[in-house]
Amino acid sequence: MASIDFPLKGKIILITGGGSGIGLSLTRQSAALGACVLVADLRTTADFDKLASSDPNIVYMQTDVTKWSDFQKLFAVCEEKWNDVPDAYGICAGVFEPPFSNFWQDPEDEETEGGYKQVRINLDHPMKLTRMAIKKSLGRGKRASVCIIASMSGYAANIALPIYTATKHAILGFVKSVGPSEALTGVKITTICPSLVNTPLIDSQKRKQFNFSEGQGLSPDVVAKNMLKLIQEKELGSGTVLEVAAEGTRVIPEWYARFPFCFP
């Protein structure tokens, strides 16, 4: 199956991290297109509460994306509310090298559960939810479109953000690997790589650490608008990696030059 135009009007979109930042912008813009929106987040914000209170087709469910059992509950809520599974997925929940899961600030506490929680949030949750999207869509015999937030850090290096950067590199590899599966499953999978975005992830401490000024960075609305292009437009096919920066957008190619002779 080839990619098709996939307008969201009348469709269901599940958005993780939809209570704030880019996710909130995606929630607002999806609702404006006439979509039913299921928002999965740990907590809401005043801006989200105001938006949801005026639209009965915006439904919130408190969700910990590191708990895969919460994903099953999301699908159950979706079927109870709309008698269907989602048509689209905006996978926005993520963290930015937080103190509780940080390479350079790791306390080496033997009592701590194994693994970095940042990896579970930024990488495991998008991969698992994408798999569930494919499974649920196949079960209903319907097409779907998944867009995952990555970052320009996914093809760069940053000594201050080694875990965050590693997770974003992995998202690009994941999306490019599973992208061709749309021909078999009917589920389109894409990713977006924004530059710095003005969201709650960039707090005052991070601004000071990286010398970011208040006005520096993209608007969450710009990123959400381009996520909707990835979700809806057939020209941006499955496996697409779309860069979004102040200078504009571009599709990141598989190879910048002839591929290595050693490639298997």
Per-residue pLDDT band for 157 (boundaries 50, 70, 90) equals very high
Region 137-160: mean pLDDT is: 96
The Cα–Cα gap between 136 and 75 comes to 9
| Token pair listed for 116 | 């970095």
Residues 193/205, Cβ–Cβ less than 8 Å: no
In the block, tokens 């790791």 appear at 106
Region 24-43: mean pLDDT is: 98
Residues 124/66, Cβ–Cβ less than 8 Å: yes
The CATH number of 12-251, from 3.10.129.10, 1.10.3720.10, 3.30.70.3040, 3.40.50.720, is 3.40.50.720
Identify the pLDDT of residue 147: 99
The better pLDDT of the pair 209, 105 is held by 105
Residues 232/5, Cβ–Cβ less than 8 Å: yes
Q: Is 245 helix (H, G, I), strand (E, B) or coil?
A: strand
Distances (CA, A) of 51 to 39, 57, 207, 224, 238: 12, 11, 28, 16, 31
In the block, tokens 């940053």 appear at 158
Q: Which of 96-110, 112-126, 154-168, 219-233 has the lowest mean pLDDT?
A: 96-110
Identify the pLDDT of residue 261: 53
The Cα–Cα gap between 235 and 200 comes to 32
Identify the pLDDT of residue 204: 64
Per-residue pLDDT band for 127 (boundaries 50, 70, 90) equals very high
Q: Is 111 helix (H, G, I), strand (E, B) or coil?
A: coil
Identify the pLDDT of residue 214: 63
The Cα–Cα gap between 202 and 88 comes to 27
Answer whether residue 47 shows pLDDT above 90.
yes
Region 187-213: mean pLDDT is: 78
Per-residue pLDDT band for 111 (boundaries 50, 70, 90) equals low
Per-residue pLDDT band for 102 (boundaries 50, 70, 90) equals confident
Identify the pLDDT of residue 259: 57
The Cα–Cα gap between 60 and 42 comes to 10
Chain mean position to CA 45:
19
| Token pair listed for 166 | 């590693």
Phi and psi torsions of 83, nearest 5°: 55, 40
Residues 134/151, Cβ–Cβ less than 8 Å: no
| Token pair listed for 72 | 């099953």
Identify the pLDDT of residue 213: 64
CA neighbor of 82 nearest in space, from 63, 56, 106, 103? 56
The one-letter code for the residue type at 208 is K
Q: Which of 53-57, 198-202, 251-255 has the lowest mean pLDDT?
A: 198-202
DSSP H helical ranges for the chain: 21-32, 46-53, 68-82, 117-119, 125-140, 162-178, 182-185, 204-210, 220-232
Region 206-220: mean pLDDT is: 71
Per-residue pLDDT band for 255 (boundaries 50, 70, 90) equals confident
Nearest-10 crossing angle of helices 68-82, 125-140: 40
Region 24-40: mean pLDDT is: 99
Q: Which of 68-77, 150-159, 206-215, 218-227 has the lowest mean pLDDT?
A: 206-215
Task: Please report, for the chain, the start and end positions of each structural domain, with discontinuous segments joined by +.
Answer: 12-251
- What lies within 8 Å, CB to CB, of 166 at 6+ separation is 119
Identify the pLDDT of residue 79: 98
Identify the pLDDT of residue 211: 62
Chain mean position to CA 92:
3
Mean pLDDT score across all residues of the chain: 92
Identify the pLDDT of residue 35: 99
